[in-house]
């Protein structure tokens, strides 16, 4: 598999249904990259295909599901040539704003699982594909990593 310029550039972008992940995926595709876009719904997949063209390959990828991560890795590995994967953008995330005293622990744990643990799980799964070409990992963060905002404790902790 090579990109439209014959450079063999391919990347995975998690959380590509909306926002930063979508913008990143579409920008890479416009620059001739093959982009495997992590989505959780078929509707999001269809919208990305329509917006990005043939270089955008939507992949079912819930970063909290080991089976999704393994299936995405296997799909990407099966389509790549010896060039491997050049980029991984860990973007998937969520925010559950709530005062700490009312925040259910399960909601706190879920946000950490998506925004922190999920990124590690995806990184571990794709590292063998990234090593061959000396690929790069980009972890999308937030100003919330340094400046706490009211009602954002789980988000700040994860970032």
Exposure on the CB side of residue 35, measured as CA atoms within 13 A = 31
Helix/strand/coil (H, E, C) string of 129-150?
HHHCCCCEEEECCCHHHCCCCC
Q: What is the predicted pLDDT for the residue at 7?
A: 60
To the query of whether residue 102 is one of the catalytic residues in this protein, the response is: no
pLDDT per residue as tens digits for the range 39-78: 999 999 999 999 999 999 999 999 999 999 999 999 999 9
Bridge partners (DSSP) listed for residue 88: 12, 137
Radius of gyration of the chain (CA): 16
Q: What is the predicted pLDDT for the residue at 145?
A: 76
Q: Is 154 exposed, middle or buried (0-12, 13-18, 19+ CB in 10 A)?
A: buried
Is residue 6's pLDDT more than 50?
A: no
Instruction: Give 159's pLDDT tier (boundaries 50, 70, 90).
Output: confident
Pick from 82, 44, 50, 133: which is nearest to 13 by CA? 44
pLDDT per residue as tens digits for the range 99-139: 989 999 999 999 999 999 999 999 999 999 999 899 999 99
Instruction: Give 33's pLDDT tier (boundaries 50, 70, 90).
Output: very high
Exposure on the CB side of residue 105, measured as CA atoms within 13 A = 0
Helix/strand/coil (H, E, C) string of 59-77?
EECCCCCHHHHHHHHHHHH
Q: What is the predicted pLDDT for the residue at 153?
A: 81
Is residue 12's pLDDT more than 70?
A: yes
Q: What is the predicted pLDDT for the residue at 1?
A: 42
Distance CA 97, CA 101 (A): 12
Q: What is the predicted pLDDT for the residue at 3?
A: 42
Distance CA 129, CA 123 (A): 10
Select which of 13, 116, 155, 158 is catalytic.
155
On average, the pLDDT of the chain sits at 91
Is residue 95's pLDDT more than 70?
A: yes
Distance CA 48, CA 55 (A): 10
What are φ and ψ of residue 135, in 5° steps?
A: -65, 170
Q: What is the predicted pLDDT for the residue at 111?
A: 93
């Amino acid at each position: 598999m090579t990109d439209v310029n014959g450079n063999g550039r391919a990347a995975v972008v998690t959380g590509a249904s909306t926002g930063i992940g979508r913008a990143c995926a579409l920008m890479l595709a416009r620059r001739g990259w093959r982009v495997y876009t992590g989505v959780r719904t078929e509707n999001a997949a269809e919208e990305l295909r329509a917006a990005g063209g043939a270089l955008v390959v939507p992949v079912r990828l819930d970063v909290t599901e080991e089976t999704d991560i393994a299936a995405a890795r296997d799909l990407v590995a099966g389509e790549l040539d010896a060039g491997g994967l050049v980029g991984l953008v860990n973007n998937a995330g969520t925010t559950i704003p709530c005062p700490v005293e009312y925040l259910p622990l399960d909601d706190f744990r879920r946000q950490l699982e998506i925004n922190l643990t999920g990124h590690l799980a995806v990184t571990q799964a794709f590292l063998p594909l990234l090593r061959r070409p000396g690929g790069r990992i980009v972890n999308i963060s937030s100003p919330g990593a340094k400046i706490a905002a009211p009602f954002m404790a789980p988000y700040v902790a994860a970032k």
